[in-house]
Amino acid sequence: MSVLIIACGALAREVRAVADQLPNFTLRCFPATLHNTPDRIVPAITTILDDTVGQHDRTILALGDCGTGGALDRLCTARDLQRLPGAHCYAFFTGVTDFDDMMTEELGTFFLTDFLARQFDAMVMRPLGLDRKPELRDMYFGNYKRLVFLSQTEDADLLARAKAAAVALDLTFEHRPTGLTPFARDLARLAA
């Protein structure tokens, strides 16, 4: 059985890291920068689906709703697709229950994954203009209290980058190593 996994580019490394637990699969990604324009996510996925019709036995979406306002789930229903559980990819790494508990604990939480720690300037600082106008920080992040780094790997450089991101956003810092276990389990379950 061949499986097409459509993922956000922010998850490509993690999908490849757990690939040995999956059947024959092909990975297609859309640019992670589309999170800044979530109305473009479903059209990007639709293009991938249309380009790959009949090439795979099953298609899985490895992404959360990501701000599509339910449009992604409507696409899943219309095309009989499955996606990983959770509104955000952060829940893929913690498990949905643990993610929900963290949000209940502190709604004003900004999350970083390994990808976001690595790409913080390119995905957050520059697109939001914070590199040019730091006074915008309060407009974007004034209601946030903490930054939680959900690390998939043990990497001292990424940990340092995540701490620097918390300083740049003037948020308290918390580190929660997650590894890839919940992500690998849920992806393998959908691929089976």
Q: What are the boundaries of each domain within the chain? A: 3-85+181-191, 90-177
The phi, psi pair for 106, rounded to 5°, reads: -155, 100
Q: How confident is the model at residue 164 (pLDDT cuts 50, 70, 90)?
A: very high
Strand order, beta sheet including 25-30: 25-30, 3-8, 58-62, 82-83
Residue with token string 């040019």:
132
Nearest to 165 by CA among 88, 128, 127, 110: 110
Count CB neighbours of 109 within 10 A.
18
**pTM, whole model, 2 decimals?**
0.90
What's residue 21's pLDDT? 74
**pLDDT, tens digit, for every residue of 172-183?**
999 999 999 999
Q: How confident is the model at residue 50 (pLDDT cuts 50, 70, 90)?
A: very high
Identify whether the C-beta of residue 172 lies closer than 8 Å to the C-beta of residue 4.
Answer: no
Least confident of 17-21, 98-102, 124-128, 135-139: 17-21
